[in-house]
Amino acid sequence: MPANIIFRCDASPKVGAGHVMRCLTAAEAFSWAGWTCGFSVNAEAIDTLPALRTSGYRVEIDENERILLNAAHTVVIDNYALDAHYERRLRTDDRQVIVFDDLQTETHACDILLDPTPGRVEGDYSSAIDTDTTYLLGAKYALISSRWRACARTATERLARPIPASRILVSMGATDPSNATGQVLAALKIANLDVHIDIVLGSNAPHLKSIQSSICSAIALHIDPPDLPTIAASADFAIGAAGTSSFERAILGLPAILLQTADNQKFIADAFSNTGAALTLPSKLLNDSTLFAARIAAFAMNRTVRAAMSRAAATMTDGRGASRLLLAVATQAHSRKGGAVRLRLAEPIDRDWLLDLQHQPKTRKFSNNSAPPPRSSTPNGLPML
């Protein structure tokens, strides 16, 4: 059966696995809605991210985009090297093109542009768009899988309290080409904290053997873990790269020390720092193990700061970005056929309107229960109907 949505994304030890990971998250939502998903990737992607091989989706190494042109009703592009010229080749009256971006450095010719960077606005892209585009901008469009959301409530409740730090998650990216993980471990050794350390790396990380040689009884190395959300949810704080995984940690309310290890991480690092959702440190601190150790130790000891940071982090995104994308795609497809229906998720601001609707006599007349619903709400703030 031909795929009706194709994700064009790459991964490698140098590029990392972030592009493919967020496409896998989007594919989860589309699969749930009944779409058939496929991936068109570079040759290195499958070795870099084993989860792609075991995902169950059709995966092709197809540099000529044959499957994109022949099988897809929708194409998602998550690749900094592909610009408007490439997008125009794929975009037709019968095929939508969606772009995932967070650099705003390229011109695009797409139907939908998704950028989850906090604070991003349409004006940031106005000079880089040459077509009528639907913008999905800001942290509410962060793509977070259902496994992370399932751990959120328990983790946020625990971490919002001023608890001692006994477990640290170190996650500097699946491939970590600069070996920031090794530098973090060197600082943690100097800090000499009485904690357990969970390190997360991909099996294709170039410095994996070096990290393996540093493992001791207080350190667990997780290589391509199948259940990273559970590992992260057990941590008391994280030390991580300021990439898209920052949103995954945030939905857990996990306090974090963030380091910018790539140019495209600057905007996310700044946003988390400005809102108090993370402590952002300059990457040059990785080269000063003693000073870095002191900052980590101070962070570990300050329970009050970490609790406040947890509460701030938990407000960064609600984790429903993939669902919002799905509805935007459905709306766009309907509009192409001349429809005027716009779909969106119910939000807390809709609470009063929904309650008023349920309290109307005509509504109650056709309800099995003639009594109006109480003005109480569910944990997410929506009315119980």
Give per-residue pLDDT as tens, 162-194: 999 999 999 999 999 999 999 999 999 999 999
Q: Is 371 contained in some domain?
A: no
pLDDT value at residue 97: 95
Q: Is 363 contained in some domain?
A: no
CATH number (domain holding residue 185) = 3.40.50.2000
Tokens 């992607």, located at residue: 45
Asked whether the predicted pLDDT for residue 383 surpasses 50, the reply is no
pLDDT value at residue 67: 73
Helix residue spans in 3-54 (DSSP H): 18-32, 45-48, 50-53
Q: Is 227 contained in some domain?
A: yes
Q: How far are the Cα atoms of 34, 118, 224, 241, 262 from residue 16, in angstroms, in the given order?
A: 29, 22, 13, 12, 10
Q: Is 276 contained in some domain?
A: yes
Q: How confident is the model at residue 335 (pLDDT cuts 50, 70, 90)?
A: low
Domain co-membership, 168 together with 309: yes
| Span 258-275, average pLDDT | 91
| Span 4-16, average pLDDT | 92
Instruction: Give the separation between CA 181 and CA 185, rounded to whole angstroms.
Output: 6
Lowest mean pLDDT among 112-116, 183-187, 201-205, 340-344: 340-344
pLDDT value at residue 360: 87
| Span 55-67, average pLDDT | 83
Domain co-membership, 43 together with 93: yes
Asked whether the predicted pLDDT for residue 16 surpasses 80, the reply is yes
| Span 258-269, average pLDDT | 89
Q: Out of 313, 328, 348, pick the residue that ends a domain.
A: 313
Q: How confident is the model at residue 337 (pLDDT cuts 50, 70, 90)?
A: low
Domain span at 12: 5-144+318-336
Q: Is 121 contained in some domain?
A: yes
pLDDT in tens, 63-106: 667 777 777 889 999 999 898 999 998 998 889 999 999 888 77
Domain co-membership, 50 together with 74: yes
Q: Is 138 contained in some domain?
A: yes
Domain co-membership, 114 together with 17: yes
Tally of structural domains, the chain? 2
pLDDT value at residue 379: 47
CB 201 within 8 A of CB 221: yes
| 229 Rama sector, left if φ>0, alpha if ψ -120 to 50, beta otherwise | alpha
Asked whether the predicted pLDDT for residue 385 surpasses 50, the reply is no
Instruction: Give the separation between CA 376 and CA 31, rounded to whole angstroms.
Output: 33
Computed over every residue of the chain, the mean pLDDT equals 90
pLDDT in tens, 126-155: 777 766 889 999 999 999 999 999 999 999
Domain co-membership, 239 together with 306: yes
